[in-house]
């Protein structure tokens, strides 16, 4: 039998800018630096504050790592005990097309907009955090600085209505296939769904990025930022190996352009500095 890839619909890339996926850090203490009235910018005070921020950030990152390790153990137990069954993307494609099993897409909106599977139901477990207030700005800035600029990953927040939305669409005895871009968020969704009473769950291992080569838009839906612009992602390298030099030249030209722009900005900054220095001396 001929292998069936996941049926997909694709959208052209939106011109709207993505808010920088969430890095796993949340430097909440940055807000205290910005809004603490007693804070003075003397070198000694600044150094102490930065050291305090670094220590708190390292503690938070350590907690995040521990939480993730504990979550992975729980997810592995779900699969090992057969509470959640594993499907490859190809097997999921068969199940969706031939058995009419429902496919639950739990990816955030920035990935879903780029490509999605026909007849799937989209209910994100985490979605792009579009709030802009004093509590979220430091987190968004930190996520951007800590890698969002490179990966294009936006800050995400958990949708507290996720379970309620799923329950509106599917009864508890449904055979649900759960998928995300890389397979981690869908595992988290499976854990929530299982604990809520869903006992016929199927997890797509590796997510949509592990789909058949024909499903290129799905495989590319999770990339972004400077790494996508320069063609430095794994998906783009794989495509370049197949497409040849024509594909690589596009991104080589972009890289050269970035260096030229950076060089021009550096020279311009030097000229402005000299001009301001001349004004001061005269």
3-class secondary structure, 155: coil
Which pair of structure tokens corresponds to residue 188?
């988290």
- The residues, ordered by sequence, that sit 6+ positions from 105 with a Cβ below 8 Å of its Cβ are 112, 116, 117, 120, 121, 122, 123, 179, 180
**Rg of the chain over CA atoms, in angstroms?**
23
For helices 162-169 and 184-195, angle between their N-to-C axes, nearest 10 degrees? 70
Q: What is the Cα–Cα distance from 201 to 177, expressed in whole angstroms?
A: 6
Catalytic residues: 180
pLDDT of residue 74: 92
Would you kindly state where each structural domain of the chain is located, as residue ranges? Answer: 82-222
User: For helices 234-243 and 245-281, what crossing angle results, to 10°?
Assistant: 130
**Average pLDDT by stretches of 10, the chain with 282 residues:** 44 33 33 36 52 55 79 90 94 89 95 91 93 78 81 86 96 96 94 96 94 79 83 80 75 78 84 82 72
Say which CATH superfamily domain 82-222 falls into.
Rhodanese-like domain (3.40.250.10)
DSSP state of 121: E
Whole-angstrom distance, CA of residue 226 vs CA of residue 204: 28
Query: Residue 140: its pLDDT value, please?
Result: 79
DSSP run (H or E) holding 87: strand 84-87
> pTM of the full predicted structure?
0.67
């Amino acid at each position: 039998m001929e292998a069936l890839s996941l049926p997909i619909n694709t959208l052209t890339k939106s011109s709207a800018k993505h808010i920088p996926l969430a890095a796993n850090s949340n430097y909440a203490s940055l807000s205290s630096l910005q809004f603490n009235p007693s804070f003075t910018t003397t070198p000694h005070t600044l150094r102490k504050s930065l050291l305090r921020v670094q220590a708190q950030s390292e503690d938070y990152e350590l907690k995040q790592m521990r939480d993730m390790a504990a979550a992975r153990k729980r997810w592995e137990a779900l699969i090992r005990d057969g509470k959640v069954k594993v499907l490859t993307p190809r097997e999921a494609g068969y199940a969706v097309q031939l058995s009419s099993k429902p496919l639950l897409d739990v990816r955030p909106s920035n990935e879903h907009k780029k490509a999605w599977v026909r007849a799937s139901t989209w209910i994100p477990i985490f979605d792009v955090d579009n709030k802009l207030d004093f509590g979220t700005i430091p987190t968004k800035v930190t996520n951007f600085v800590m890698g969002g600029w490179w990966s294009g990953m936006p800050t995400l927040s958990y949708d507290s209505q996720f379970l309620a939305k799923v329950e509106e669409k599917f009864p508890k005895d449904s055979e649900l296939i759960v998928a995300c871009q890389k397979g981690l968020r869908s595992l988290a969704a499976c854990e929530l769904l299982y604990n809520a009473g869903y006992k016929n769950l199927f997890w797509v291992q590796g997510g949509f990025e592990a789909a058949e080569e024909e499903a290129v838009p799905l495989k590319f839906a999770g990339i972004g930022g400077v790494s996508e612009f320069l063609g430095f992602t794994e998906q783009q390298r794989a495509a370049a190996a197949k497409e040849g030099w024509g594909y690589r030249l596009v991104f080589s030209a972009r890289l050269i352009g970035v260096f030229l722009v950076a060089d021009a900005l550096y020279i311009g900054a030097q000229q402005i500095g000299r001009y301001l220095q001349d004004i001061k001396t005269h």
